[in-house]
Structure 1
Amino acid sequence: MKKILSVVLLIMGILSTVVFGKDNSLEKIKEKGYFTVGLDATFAPMGYRDENGQIVGFDVDLAKEVAKRMGVEVKFKPCEWDGIIFDLRSGNIDMVWNGMTVTPSRAKQVLFSQPYLANDQVIFTRKDQGTYTIDDLSGKVVGVQLGSSGAMAVENSKVKNDIKDVKKYSTNVEALMDLEAGRLDAVVMDEVSGNYYNQKKSTLNSSVEQLSKEEFAVALRKNDNSLTDEINKQLADMKIDGTYEQIKIKWFGK
């Protein structure tokens, strides 16, 4: 009798977990009619403010299209990149969709969507300096964004103990401006964003050698499985019907 009672209690416990622990993240988004995307609004071309102060970018267009297909709206909330995962986990935003690199340390804190874009961490220098390799960072002053994949790449590089100083900035743009002004010898950051910044100015070189090869994905809260599944589904559909490629060409060309 005791054995039967134990089995019954175990089954009831499992059913209770299924019923009360059910993931309703997608349902919540559909009920309120929108989801909030956290982003660094200086990270062109992924998400940034244009000359009219509007938030635009590759990730912005992807998020808008996914929201439209889900039948909801999307709101964009600028955040400090170094604290953006805290904003996500505390409920201030529903996801981070802003060229976030998938890393093992981040994967312990967030649930990532399927990767949607490849990226490299490279070294940017001024034209008059030539092109740097990783070894050339020895004895140099290097700029990175706080909490960024560039900062992680420098920390994990073979020359980390030989770098003269690593200066950390709130945004990559601030670091690049200091590089152009001669206050830095190099900036380590995303190739996608750095090249976009340099398109009009052409004042910088980017290294052929990568500090790391990476992939971008959308970051959500650990338990938001149904919302993550929906985003994966919509992105997959957009790739099949060609919408993803159209948005990619708009921002990066062919």
Structure 2
Amino acid sequence: MLFVAAATPAFAQPAPSAEVLRDLAPTGQLRAAINFGNSVLAQKGEGGAPRGVSVDLATELAKRLGVPVAFVPYEAAGKVFEGAKAGVWDIGFMAIEPARAAEITFTAPYVIIEGTYMVRQDSPLQYVGDVDKPGIKIAVGLGSAYDLYLTRTIKSATVLRAEVGGGTAMIRKFLDEKLDVAAGVRQQLDAYAKDHPEMRVMSGHFQEIKQAMGMPRVDGQPRAAGAAYLAAFVEEMKASGFVAAALARSGQVADVAPAEK
């Protein structure tokens, strides 16, 4: 399903080259993958239409390119990654992860959020460092940034993956299977724990999740002109306050990433 909006240049600026347009909008529109599984980045508005910082960035980029924007919605980051390999979107909003780099060219991050754990109030686990022990079972969302990170780094605990259900699927798996820990984005876990006082979210984090814009590679190769344009766009959006303002408009709290050095 596509949500399509018209776009016109926001202000006078050098026109993107034909090569940039070919790289970023090869079909004549900017197809932007939107992940509803991460509520910091995207939320569903009236009629299910996407809103949030990633939506605002895609819309602004389309204005710069002078093309319409078409939103390609997903419920989980793993599905977004599959869409990159299928060639159904031109830009996406995902966490930078080594396991994705062979298929996607990433910009520097524009937002940094925390990956952390939620447990029951009576759990003996108190600190993030307590979790990686034999016998501990961790619920994660399949293909999420924190799934990929924990798969690389957990040595003794067991990582169990929720395959369907979007951004809160790991919470349902944690509850349904009576697992020890749910891993996820801090904001989503905090929101759940606020409504469920029998749960608590650990202070600290196991991962800083660096959210970036990305482009699918072609036969494993980056598209240099489009990638350079996108990288410069992200830096301008951070420096101008656009990212901070977009987060505020959507009621989200997250750290804007520092400028790329």
TM-score (normalizing by structure 2): 0.73
- Which of 76, 82, 88 is the matching residue for 1:86? 82
Does residue 228 (structure 1) correspond to residue 227 (structure 2)? The answer is: yes
SS in 2 for 1:183: coil
Shift of 1:51: 6.1
2:19 and 2:86 map into 1 onto residues whose CA distance is 17
Does residue 101 (structure 1) correspond to residue 95 (structure 2)? The answer is: yes
Q: Residue type of the partner of 1:145?
A: G
Change (3 A) 1:253 1:219: closer
2:79 and 2:174 map into 1 onto residues whose CA distance is 24
* 1:121 counterpart residue number: 115
* 1:198 counterpart residue number: 192
Does residue 252 (structure 1) correspond to residue 246 (structure 2)? The answer is: no
How far does the alpha carbon of each residue in 1:125-172 deviate from its partner, in whole angstroms, 9 at most, with x for none? 2345474423235323321011112212322334x4333x62433333
Q: List aligned pairs for 1:1-254, cutoff 5 A.
A: 24-27=19-22, 29=24, 32-50=27-45, 52-79=47-74, 81-97=77-93, 100-129=94-123, 131-138=126-133, 139-158=135-154, 160-163=155-158, 166-170=160-164, 171-179=166-174, 183-195=178-190, 197-198=191-192, 201=195, 203=197, 204-222=199-217, 223-250=222-249, 251-253=251-253
Change (3 A) 1:51 1:198: farther
Structure 1 spans left out of the alignment, 5+ residues: 1-22
CA contact (8 A) 2:193 2:200 kept: no
2:35 and 2:253 map into 1 onto residues whose CA distance is 23
CA contact (8 A) 2:110 2:243 kept: no
2:230 and 2:100 map into 1 onto residues whose CA distance is 19
Query: Matched residues, percent identical?
Result: 19
Q: Residue type of the partner of 1:45?
A: V
Shift of 1:103: 1.9
Identify the range of structure 1 (35-44 vs 106-115) with the bigger mean alpha-carbon deviation. 35-44
CA contact (8 A) 1:118 1:214 kept: yes
Q: Highest Rg: 1 or 2?
A: 1
* 1:15 counterpart residue number: none
Q: Which runs of structure 1 show a deviation greater than 6 angstroms over 4 or more consecutive aligned residues?
A: none
Change (3 A) 1:36 1:169: same
Shift of 1:56: 1.9
Structure 2 spans left out of the alignment, 5+ residues: 1-17, 255-261
How far does the alpha carbon of each residue in 1:84-114 deviate from its partner, in whole angstroms, 9 at most, with x for none? 33321331111222xx221222222211112
TM-score (normalizing by structure 1): 0.74
2:153 and 2:42 map into 1 onto residues whose CA distance is 28
1:86 and 1:43 map into 2 onto residues whose CA distance is 16
Equivalent residue pairs, number: 228
Q: Which has the higher helix share?
A: 1
